[in-house]
Amino acid sequence: MNESTLVTGAGGFIGGHLVAKLLQEGHHVRAVDKKPQSQWYQRFAAAENLTMNLQEKAACIRAVNGCDGIYNMAADMGGMGFIELNKGLCMLTVLINTHMLMAARQCGATRFFFPSSACVYAGCKQQQTDNPALKEEDAYPADPEDGYGWEKLFSERMCRHFREDFGLETRVARYHNVYGPHGTFDGGREKAPAAICRKVIAAKLSGRHEIEIWGDGEQTRSFMFIDDCLHGTRLLMESDIAEPINIGSAEMVTINQLVDLTEELAGVKLERNYKLDAPKGVRGRSSDNTFTKTQLGWEPSTPLQIGLEKTYAWIFDQMKNSRSSGRIVNRF
């Protein structure tokens, strides 16, 4: 292949895994992230690895030039604790998306993938723990997560109009809570599965058998393992599906059940302290995969217990190794 496939946000969690998958498929990959490469979660010598700030239009043009397919995974984001307290930073990601679409058009790219989020869905449809799973049409009338959700919804519309007005083939996935190894598990940007794994492991290693849970633990979510995310992403990118589509698990659990599963993996039982004033997001959210199954003939299938076991094992190794060298701080 003479042309490259571009992955932005390649130093991040999903981006790093996506680079690995594309390399395995035989693509020439240009991997771009603003972080120093020493801080990337995964870095592959077989890729063309570049460090640049994609909030700048000129950087986007340099990144896109010579690339046919673009996966725009770059974003300033994190778990609920981050996005509720950093709405302005989340909104600034629109600079990346705007400049990347402009660069794709200018440089003649043929396909553009945008990872949206379940945070675009109307908050009024997520106020009950046992609410029906979210369908694609539930994004309107618009009432997304403030900050991060609005940025994602606006960027979805940009993708639509660049397709309609300029002929750029855009594909939009609405991800639902992606988790797995080789990602953030501390520092404030981690999402619930990684955060719970970290807290349970810290309790196990320290002997302090207690855990802090944000909210009352009865809020519901579905969590998608990274392998399913990558498979769905590749299927969508190669499809003719122009509308935003759910890429998420339909296996809905409470946060308390997520803790139960993690405790089983650790072989511990912890005293639960509920922090009711902590950021906790909507009351209930999961993915309705009716449209996904109809259009792609597929839906995420990795059971939470299986994916969580792999994630727990990786985080445990990271924390145990850091603890042995005296670098870890136990967090609850």
Task: List residues with catalytic annotation.
Answer: 148
Tell me the sheet residues that pair with 80: none
Q: Is the peptide bond before 141 cis (omega within 30 degrees of 0)?
A: yes
Six-digit token string for 298: 């597929």
What is the DSSP secondary structure assignment for residue 133, as one 8-state letter? P
Distance from C-alpha of 94 to C-alpha of 92, rounded to nearest angstrom:
5
* Distant-in-sequence, close-in-space partners of 187: CB < 8 Å, separation ≥ 6: none
**Cβ-based neighbour number of residue 82 at 10 Å:** 20
* Distant-in-sequence, close-in-space partners of 111: CB < 8 Å, separation ≥ 6: 68, 69, 70, 169, 170, 171, 237
- Distances in Å between the Cα of 5 and the Cα atoms of 15, 94, 132, 142, 227 are 12, 22, 37, 33, 19
What 297-301 contacts at long range (C-beta under 8 Å, 24+ apart), as own/partner pairs, is 298/231, 298/232, 298/235, 299/232, 299/250, 300/224, 300/225, 300/228, 300/229, 300/231, 300/232, 300/247, 300/248, 300/249, 300/250, 301/228
Distance from C-alpha of 227 to C-alpha of 232, rounded to nearest angstrom:
9
Tell me the sheet residues that pair with 21: none
- Distances in Å between the Cα of 216 and the Cα atoms of 9, 106, 119 are 33, 50, 21
User: Could you give the angle at which helices 226-237 and 13-24 cross, rounded to 10 degrees?
Assistant: 60
